[in-house]
Each structure stands twice: as C-alpha cells, then as structure tokens.
Amino acid sequence: MRDAFPRRLHASDLRELATQGELGGTGEDCACRLRHAKGWESMPEERWPSQLMELQGTLRDPSIEEPTFEEFHPAGTRYESPGAPIATDFFPFNRCDVYRCTACGLLVLRYTEYGGYYVDHRVRRVEASLIVDTV
C-alpha cells in the first residue's frame, strides 16, 4: 500500500541519502539524465523519468500551510546557481519531495511552481556537500 503522506525528511536525512547515492558511482550515462540538473531545471512531466524514480520522502513541514518564499544565499548565490546551498527550511527546498533514481542512485528534489495557467515542475539534484544546517 502506498503511503498517502511521504516521510518527513530533515537536512540530516537528506545528507545521509545523498551520500549513499554518491557512493553508487557517477551515473553519467543513466537513462534518468538528471545528473546535470544542478540548478532547478524546468522539467515537464513527459521528461520526468517517473519509472526510474522512487519517492523517499518530503522536506515539507505538514504543520505549515504556506511555507516561506525566503531564500538562503549567504555567499551571494542565486536561486538557479548550481552551487547554491541546499537549505531545507528555505524556498524552494521547503516544498520539495525527495526522489532517488533506482538505476544510478542519484538523489533529486522536485517541486511544482503554480502559475495562472500553467504548472512548472522543477528538479534539482542533491549534492551532499551543499546541504547546510540553518537551525
């Protein structure tokens, strides 16, 4: 049976999952093609390799109705910077689900931007070294 509410993950869980994934090799040729999604790539449903992706949990706090839109960039990075820190309490990480590629082990984050007439799925791979503790 599928869990209606994915497991809540914190920065430490994310770091552990990402480190596990990075032990699995480079995955350069994996069919998921998510290895290069380092800066919140826009990824329509038809490009999302759903058959390879396994939901690990969510970074979203179920007790918060509207998570903050504040971003965390102490070193002058921007939203789409490949080196931007992964701060789980800040936008957009605070609304992401966490997936793992079952073929190459890569860990990725995914959330959806809702516009007036569109939805935009955004994907970013997780590098353990970029995860920061902000609390």
| 81 vs 73: CA distance, rounded Å | 10
With binding defined as CB under 5 A, does residue 37 bind Zn ion? no
Residue 53 or residue 87: which is nearer to Zn ion going by CB? Answer: 53
Compute the half-sphere exposure of residue 5: CA atoms within 13 Å on the CB side of its CA: 6
Asked if 132 interacts with Zn ion (CB under 5 A), we say no
Among 14, 18, 30, 43, which residue sits at the site for Zn ion (rule: CB under 5 A)? 30
Stretch that binds Zn ion, among 25-33, 75-83, 87-95, 108-116 (CB under 5 A): 25-33
Residue 47 is encoded by which pair of tokens? 């490009």
- Computed on alpha carbons and rounded to an integer, the radius of gyration of the chain in Å comes to 14
Distance of closest approach, residue 33 Cβ to Zn ion, in angstroms: 8
Strand partners, 113: 120
Residues that bind Zn ion (CB under 5 A): 30, 32, 101, 103-104, 106
